[in-house]
Chains A and B, each alone.
Chain A
Amino acid sequence: MGAIQNDMSLSGQPPVALNALQKIGTALGITGLTVLLLAAFNINLPENPIWFWIAFFAMITGVLVFTYGQYKGTEAGIKNDGVMFKAMTSRGFVAWVLGIALTVFYIILYWFPNLLGVVEGGKNTGVVSLFDPLSEKLTGGPSSQWFVYGVLYTLAILLFGIKFIWKYRHNRYEIIRTCSVMFFQLCFAFMIPNIMGALSMPSYDLKNIWPLNYDLFSGRLEEFTNFGSIGTIMLIFGLLSIFVITPILTYKYGKRWYCSWVCGCGGLAETAGDPYRHLSDKRMVAWKIERWVVHSVVVFVTVMTVAMVYSFIKNKESESIGPWNNFEKNIVFVSERDGTPLAERGKKAAEAGASRFIYVDREGNGDNISFENMGSIGIPFHIISYNENAQVIKQIEEGVQGTLLLAGAPRQEIVVEAETGGKVYDDVWLDKGLFIWLVVTLLTLVFGWAMIFRREQLAKDAKLAAISYFTILISLLLYNHLNNTGTLFLFPGYQLHKVYGFLIGAVFSGVIGVGFYPIFGSRVWCRFGCPMAAILGFQQRLFSRFRITTNGGQCISCGNCSTYCEMGIDVRAYAQKGENIVRSSCVGCGICSAVCPRGVLKLENGPLKNRINSNEILLGNDIDLMNYVNK
């Protein structure tokens, strides 16, 4: 087949050229980007917000004009003409250029934000400063690289969302789904967190659920518990989201409710990433790799979260004090004696700006306790008893003036002035033992349910992997907990967190996930990396009403469905056998159904019975023969 292949891809004559409007659109968009780029190189644009608005509107009109140029005068219907010929969508030169540019952008964003003009504690410069006016308006503060990123991300989903809707305007499922994605990005991911930040609440994207939001129960626990009742409500909502709301919705509608209706990563993939959906790898071996990698990420994130929460509870959190805290002269109260030497923690508190470091004895009266090296921490250190000072500690926390009673005879007093403020550590009620047993119970329940009630639906290698992961996890957990080794999973929680944040949070989801859109397709992260998608997929595969129904014997094996499945599912393999598609990775984007020229596929929610069918002989045949073959 060599000859034809060459002919096909090199001829280049088919509809690959851009028309006039598309060219104008491209020029406008590039103008907008150039302004940003100039700013990024710190070429001094006159101090004038006008530049920001020029860039902003150039990009918006650019995309809209391009879209108009592409689809005006076309009829409603599938628009894949020339996809395999265009350099941009078939891994040509421009696709590589774009891929590399995006990758570089992500690397700068994550690791070299100063290149974008972020100045710690000073006035921003560069692109980031360009966004200051908008940020001032929205959040009341200066912009940051994340603000810039948020604006561009949201803009991309909105603009390319419009393009997508236009492209699929004959398909109401696609229209409604895309409106939903645009809405959630604009409101939940962008506006609400920014407004919350402006009100100095913990800014929290409510739809960002653990484990996608891997910081929810680890890095940010403190932030929430420090924020009183609103923080607690948010935390409870976070727990409900993953343990109650998510399973119910996935049971009813499949994981699509999240992955292609709500999620921001999915949102970008479905809109800006849509032209690249066919680049996903469809081979069986890709599927095998996918299952191993994505489930390993789930294990990783679970381990990391459990370890983080555990260390937080175990050493009652004061171990986690570090440069990321900003104490601003607060008094720091700690109560945990085990773990890293107190002096070390005291030093860290001092470095983070604490004015005093106080050990609170929660059991006794504080006498007869001593710690080594406390003189070296650089700020005053005292020991007090909880019983004698409970009320005062509260006052100080609230910024009210108070008088602390120090341990030792005779009792001395320290007057703490109003506005000093305090931070209390090591006062969490959840006990480490209880926590471990909760985790073990939960894991066992999920594992046991799948193994007992769904065993016939699990492939052999899936069972093997599940059993080995489960055994290793539980033994590590119990062994380390019962022997008090201090680290649950060989490495301390914060280290796991750091590695996870780097490898999965940044490299995988950002650099590979989006940077490689034009090369590997739009859903690399969602397919190979996202632990949230894996958990939802597990539910979808084993306990959901969702499936893609195939229409009897109508499939002609043309391959459009498989080709345009962004998740790399070989849809045709099922359709041509008349089998329903029940796959954990299916995000329910509906494109396979849209592109099928024979109306073979339908996404639907229905009863669990007969959801997974495997009739080898299709309709239209002799009924007796069908019985033979299915015997």
Chain B
Amino acid sequence: MDHIVIIGNGIAGVTAARHIRKLSDKKITIISGESEHFWSRTALMYIYMGHLKYEHTKPYEDWFWKKNRIDLVQDWVKSIDFSEKKCILESGEAIEYSQLIIATGSTTKFHGWRGQESKAVVGMVSLQDLEQIEKYAQNNDVCKNAVLVGGGLIGVELAEMLHTRKIPVTFLVREKGFWAGTLPQQSADLISREIASHGINLLHEEELAEIFSDESGKVSSVKTKSGKILPCDFLGICSGVKPNIDWLKNTPLDCDEGILVDRFLKTNQENVYAIGDCAQQREAVRERKSVEAVWYTGRMMGETVAQTICNNPTEWNPGIWFNSAKFFNIEYQTYGRVWNKPKEENSHYHWECETGKRAMDIEFSTSNRKVVGINTFGIRMKHNVWDHWLNSEKTIDFTIENLEKACFDPEFNKTPLQKIKLHFSKS
């Protein structure tokens, strides 16, 4: 019988396993080192903040795996013997596969700063990272000051986390506004204000230069590129993640930043696939990035590769882009593409509520007014409506006119749709 081996029990690997099980009777084994069971990495912050326990982050109960005949092995894969079709585990055991799916996710990207190996210099990706954060930023006695590097989605989560334990946080952001490499400036400013309003010391246009440690080898202060010295007991590295493939370097597997795959998610090795954060498209699909480290991509790649493995060769062909996040109390959703600066042919429309808690960006074609993408802040939108509107290339005038149809805010909520319409009609 075919033996499908999956390395990595994240959303990508687990989705693949579930769908292969639905479609076939093949033997399935998931090997993963971090935890015995699949848990939701996106909920990491809630464990530290005390909203959830680790148990709550597991999307399936523990009996699920046995019932669906998905074998779990908790161990790290040390190397892969592609010619013998074997995974060698740290324990020394070897597991043979007939088809292999690599879904090893990401790790924190360290940029080679001097002193980066000091203690209490921590990324935020894995449960092991969380343990470190618990240890070095347990409370504001242990950690009098924290510095965070990197104004992205993980950085703002870590800032919120530390804030719940009243730890003073200095947040270094390379751009002029929070996440301004992705958000249009006005929206980036809005989020910057939200973050600062929680007492986070936000330093724009600042980057980490060097890390200093005390005699015990623990971080004591950092120097920024502009020369500021910031004392700290904890340094959070949130300036990006990279595919977790260092252990595959120097093997016949064709890698660049990530594991290179074709549109069928196949690697250069026979019967070996790569999905999720660790995969890199040989050629990017449309305007999408070649490595996409987001939950949904991992899930959809899992669904796709399961089809291919179960004799229905299917190309990775993602639909309209979407994503969401939460910046302290402001929820963010996006559908389609809004670039930080409008693409050549395009323009931006921006609306902002006087409370500073809600906003909207729309990118649309200047000539034919077709919408390219939308960001909303503090307003929930319906995924299926926007998916349909973007697929059928509706104009900005049409979408604003019909905004009620796309609104997903809770009942009785005072959604400012009228205000937006009025503002739009005047702009």
Q: A and B: real partners? A: yes
Chain A interfacial positions (CB closer than 8 Å to B): 1, 3-5, 7-9, 11, 13-15, 75-78, 80-86, 170-173, 176, 283-284, 549, 551-554, 556-560, 562-563, 572-573, 576, 590, 593-595, 597-599, 602-604, 616-625, 628-629
Closest to B134 in A: A7
Closest to B357 in A: A76
Question: Chain B nearest CB: distance from A189 CB in Å?
Answer: 24
| CA–CA, A576 and B38, complex, Å | 14
| CA–CA, A230 and B19, complex, Å | 63
B102-144, CB < 8 A from A:
127, 130-131, 134-135, 138-139, 141-142
Question: Chain B nearest CB: distance from A92 CB in Å?
Answer: 13
Question: Chain B nearest CB: distance from A519 CB in Å?
Answer: 16
- 22 chain-A/chain-B pairs, Cβ below 8 angstroms: A5-B55, A7-B131, A11-B134, A13-B141, A13-B142, A75-B198, A75-B329, A84-B51, A553-B296, A560-B51, A573-B59, A597-B326, A599-B333, A599-B380, A599-B381, A603-B411, A619-B322, A619-B387, A621-B304, A622-B316, A625-B304, A629-B19
Question: Chain B nearest CB: distance from A545 CB in Å?
Answer: 13
| CA–CA, A13 and B58, complex, Å | 25
Q: Are B326 and A598 in contact, CB atoms less than 8 angstroms apart?
A: yes
| CA–CA, A78 and B197, complex, Å | 16
Q: Are B51 and A619 in contact, CB atoms less than 8 angstroms apart?
A: no
Q: Does B42 contact A (CB under 8 A)?
A: yes
- B380: chain A residues at CB < 8 Å are 551, 599, 602
Closest to A594 in B: B410
- B319: chain A residues at CB < 8 Å are 619-623
Q: Which of A551, A558, A602 has the most chain B CB within a 10 Å cutoff?
A: A558
Q: Are B42 and A557 in contact, CB atoms less than 8 angstroms apart?
A: yes
Once A553-B296, A597-B331, A602-B410 are accepted as A-B contacts, the answer to whether A5 and B53 lie under 8 Å apart by CB is yes
| CA–CA, A76 and B322, complex, Å | 27
Q: Are B387 and A599 in contact, CB atoms less than 8 angstroms apart?
A: no
- B138: chain A residues at CB < 8 Å are 11, 13
Q: B296's contact among A14, A594, A620, by CB below 8 Å, is which?
A: A620
Question: Chain B nearest CB: distance from A115 CB in Å?
Answer: 39
| CA–CA, A562 and B127, complex, Å | 21
Q: Are B383 and A14 in contact, CB atoms less than 8 angstroms apart?
A: no
Q: Are A14 and B322 in contact, CB atoms less than 8 angstroms apart?
A: no
Closest to A598 in B: B324
Question: Chain A nearest CB: distance from B287 CB in Å?
Answer: 15
List the 8 closest pairs (A to B, CB-CB), nearest first. Answer: A552-B383, A13-B139, A599-B380, A77-B329, A558-B43, A622-B317, A82-B50, A556-B42
Q: Which of B46, B382, B384 has the most chain A CB within a 10 Å cutoff?
A: B46
Q: Does B252 contact A (CB under 8 A)?
A: no
B18-63, CB < 8 A from A:
19, 22, 35-36, 40, 42-43, 46-59, 61, 63
- B57: chain A residues at CB < 8 Å are 558-559
- A171: chain B residues at CB < 8 Å are 410, 413
B122-177, CB < 8 A from A:
127, 130-131, 134-135, 138-139, 141-142, 164-166
Closest to B194 in A: A75
- A603: chain B residues at CB < 8 Å are 410-411
| CA–CA, A604 and B295, complex, Å | 27
- A599: chain B residues at CB < 8 Å are 324, 331, 333, 380-381, 408
Question: Chain B nearest CB: distance from A620 CB in Å?
Answer: 5
Q: A3's contact among B131, B303, B307, B412, by CB below 8 Å, is which?
A: B131
Q: Which of B47, B50, B138, B412 has the most chain A CB within a 10 Å cutoff?
A: B50
- A602: chain B residues at CB < 8 Å are 380, 408-411
Q: B303's contact among A170, A597, A621, by CB below 8 Å, is which?
A: A621
Q: Are A172 and B414 in contact, CB atoms less than 8 angstroms apart?
A: yes
- B11: chain A residues at CB < 8 Å are 557
- A173: chain B residues at CB < 8 Å are 410-413
